[in-house]
Chain A
Amino acid sequence: MTGDARPAGPDPSRRLGSGRLTDRAGSGWRALRGRLPGRRRWRDHLITVGWLVAVWSLLWGEFTVGNLLGGVLVAVVILVFLPLPRVTFGGRLRPLVLAGFVGRFVAELVVASVHVGWVAVRPGQPRNAIVAVRLRVRTDLNLALTAEVLSLVPGTLIVEADRETGTLYVHVLDIRGAEDLARSRERVLALEARLVRTIGSEAELRMLSPTTGNAEPGGPS
């Protein structure tokens, strides 16, 4: 799906991203739901059903007609009785960038795991810190994905997420001095930038540029 195929009218992700999210969570979601164009709502439903059917079949271990029908039944029951807040994907996927992102993620996961493992077995206790990092793209999806990936890769863990201001409070293991603090802040923002470059919309990409000329000093190495 390309950017110009998007329906005109209020784009929910941009509305959230503009930072003036004044309504409370519940009513906000209802308002958002009302504004969504019907076709996109159906697309989201279909993607969810397809995903749930695939999971169902994989859990049974084989793709049969029975599993397919059972999966559809379960998916519909889940959608009807356990509705979730709507998170619409407003950006677009860049497959090549995604491949790079995944490769780097795996490399960083290895580095972070070895680091935490070393901290666990070496003598002495580590020094830690909780830092606040304000993200530049404040959509729910970006906040959630950044938080998710952050807990896995650069030696960080989310303690608290402030949805209204798009701030993540990040626990950093093994701090040695102030430059470590600055570096972990930079790494959070660099990760956000990489994520947006992978799946963000053009508008979200523009949000990255003015505040940080070079969020990623080393580039994708």
Chain B
Amino acid sequence: MNGDVVLDVLVGIFLVAGGLLSLVAGIGLIRFPDVLSRMHSATKPQVLGVLLILLALAMSLRNGADLGTLVLIGGFQLSTAPLAAQMIGRAAYRTGRVHRESLDVDELADRSGTAHDRGE
């Protein structure tokens, strides 16, 4: 009985934490100045938020098949969110949708066509 209460409290904590992270991810999406910064918001807090909610679900469902599906969702979240963010960020950069004023350094602009042979 007691173990169940502890588990329920943990589930609650994870659900709230996951929800909060998703919330700040949403706030970041609105507040950040350009696509590239917004993609940070869409990857890190968002992914961790989803993972925490999945973890809470797994802890309260405790069922083999559901667990497998949850693991699958988490895995795909981890592997697709960065990829999607990268493709969107790349498209944004290539079409010039970059907030230059907030960029201190841009070494991609320095590359400018020829210089893919810079040595280190």
**Which A residues are within 8 Å of any B CB, using their own CB?**
55, 58-59, 61-62, 109-110, 112-121, 125-132, 134, 147-153, 155, 157-162, 164-165, 167, 169, 171, 173, 175, 181, 211
B83-120: CB near A (< 8 Å → 1, else 0) gives 10110011001000000001111111111000011101
Q: Could you list some 15 contacts between A and B, CB below 8 A? A: A109-B48, A116-B25, A117-B24, A120-B27, A120-B32, A126-B32, A127-B104, A128-B102, A128-B104, A129-B103, A148-B79, A150-B82, A157-B36, A161-B86, A175-B104
Q: Is the CB of A109 within 8 A of B44?
A: yes
Q: Is the CB of B104 within 8 A of A116?
A: no
Q: How far is the CB of B34 from chain A (nearest CB, A)?
A: 8
Q: Is the CB of B68 within 8 A of A58?
A: yes
Q: How far is the CB of B37 from chain A (nearest CB, A)?
A: 6
Which 6 residue pairs spanning A and B have beta carbons closest together?
A120-B28, A151-B82, A117-B24, A132-B107, A129-B105, A113-B48
**Which B residues are within 8 Å of any A CB, using their own CB?**
21, 24-25, 27-28, 31-33, 36-37, 39-41, 43-45, 47-49, 65-66, 68-69, 71-72, 78-79, 81-83, 85-86, 89-90, 93, 102-111, 116-118, 120
Q: How far is the CB of A185 from chain B (nearest CB, A)?
A: 10
Q: Is the CB of B65 within 8 A of A128?
A: no
Q: Is the CB of A158 within 8 A of B69?
A: no
Q: Is the CB of A157 within 8 A of B47?
A: no
> What's the Cα separation between A118 and B47 when bound, in Å?
16
Cross-interface CB contact of B43 among A125, A152, A211, cutoff 8 Å? A152
Q: Is the CB of A128 within 8 A of B103?
A: yes
Cross-interface CB contact of B83 among A148, A160, A164, A169, cutoff 8 Å? A148
Q: Is the CB of B120 within 8 A of A129?
A: no
Q: How far is the CB of B27 from chain A (nearest CB, A)?
A: 5
User: Closest B-chain residue to A111, C-beta based?
Assistant: B44
Chain A residue contacts of B66, Cβ below 8 A: 61
Q: Is the CB of B28 within 8 A of A117?
A: yes
Cross-interface CB contact of A112 among B27, B44, B68, cutoff 8 Å? B44
Chain A residue contacts of B83, Cβ below 8 A: 148, 151
